[in-house]
Structure 1
Amino acid sequence: MSPDLRVVVYPPDAEGGRRVRCDGEILGRALGPADLLEFLRRAGLDPDVVVRLDDPLLIEWRGGGPSVWSPDHDEQ
């Protein structure tokens, strides 16, 4: 995955899944951090690279950050 690509994780839906896009392409619906990491791997991120899910240069979180996986969760 090129460092200039940006990942967008959308707010949780009613079941807690979050739509994930990379460079405008929908990668899928993540139900948790493991799903998100798998989508990033499939998109070309080197599996040996440690990914910080709170890295604002890589991931834009909408509707809550990496700890939010339900629609009614209030992030502290």
Structure 2
Amino acid sequence: MAELRVIVYPPDEDGGRRVRCDGEILGRAFGPGDVIEFLRRAGLDPDDVDLPAPGLIEWRGGGPAVWSSEAPPER
């Protein structure tokens, strides 16, 4: 089976992130569980998905811990 190309786009103003797999929009995720569910529907075994691991998912605008379009506060 060919490797899937998954892209999770930056959060929008509502905190949702568009998820695309091999050119097809899977949906709008509001947390890591949504991403896992979209990938399950695309045919991946959720037990084999490691969200922060490099390779499977290209995270744009922050990794799997970022679900807000607001910039973090300055320290």
Q: Give TM-score, length-normalised by structure 1.
A: 0.86
- Deviation track 1:14-67 (CA, whole Å, cap 9, x = no partner) reads 0000000000100000000010000000000024x3311012210000000010
Give the match for residue 23 of structure 2: 24
- Structure 2: gaps spanning 5 or more residues: none
Give the match for residue 33 of structure 1: 32
Give the match for residue 53 of structure 1: 51
- Structure 1: gaps spanning 5 or more residues: none
Give the match for residue 61 of structure 2: 63
Q: Give TM-score, length-normalised by structure 2.
A: 0.88
More helix by proportion, 1 or 2?
2
Count of residue correspondences: 72
